[in-house]
A = this chain, B = another copy of it.
């Protein structure tokens, strides 16, 4: 069909190369199929449990079966798909327990990153960079317009990315990437944006900001245990966040990946 440059860019495992996957992507058919397919899945194009046959996808994505298979395999590793023992893949379903575990685990891993940063000592320069980001956030916390929210989300992501960078541990990095790529666990982007419409919980942002401050302080003073527990508790804000959003099914329904959520029949798991 098309002919394009070779050049792969396989995937995760950030060694030195920061590899924000979204950056260099779109080069190979594999990447294209992978990103587009993920988009389709998260947008609710397929029901959880639905089998993804190759041929329909070939037609839909314009790539041939070979790169498509690679993309499917990648998405399985990512955790969005589940492979059947007889061959083929189905869309995974996520329960509230899954998400809650993911968030907790994210806290554990970010906590470890923070602890490493504290224990191993972090150059003043890096800490200043973190503080700069956080100061910028401070300006935004009390604003309620949508643009400020977008900017907040961006800064927040930068903060977290830089934080795990401080741990200087490729493995922690990798484990975290595997977690935050799951539907609601990379809560930063999706959940917080949703809040733009739900001022009832904006105070969470104030708390988050404070957490970040304390975190920097703890790392600076090389208080590893403190840094770890702050980061853990900080992650749990995402859970609180999720609970707020879950009470507004209209907002929830618009979040990417919402369709993969296994909704409890009635009564939200307290």
Contacts and interface: CB of A to CB of B under 8 A. Distances in A.
A175 B172 contact: no
A251 interface: no
A133 interface: no
A101 B8 contact: no
Interface string A225-255: 0000000000000000000000000000000
Contacts of A86: 7-8
Contacts of A175: 105, 175, 178-179
Interface in A54-106: 66, 69-70, 73-74, 76-77, 79, 82-89, 98, 101-102, 104-105
A101 B178 contact: no
B12 A102 contact: no
A263 interface: no
18 contacts: A6-B87, A7-B87, A8-B84, A8-B86, A9-B85, A10-B76, A11-B77, A11-B83, A13-B82, A69-B70, A98-B170, A101-B172, A104-B112, A105-B112, A105-B171, A105-B172, A108-B108, A171-B179
A77 B12 contact: yes
B73 A10 contact: yes
Contacts of A143: none
A151 interface: no
A73 B76 contact: no
A174 interface: yes
A43 interface: no
Contacts of A105: 112, 169, 171-172, 175
Interface string A5-26: 0111111110101000000100
Nearest to A8: B87
Given A8-B85, A87-B8, A101 B171 contact: yes
Interface string A161-175: 000000001111011
Contacts of A70: 69-70, 73
A219 to B, nearest CB: 17
Given A70-B69, A70-B70, A169 B82 contact: no
A7 B85 contact: yes
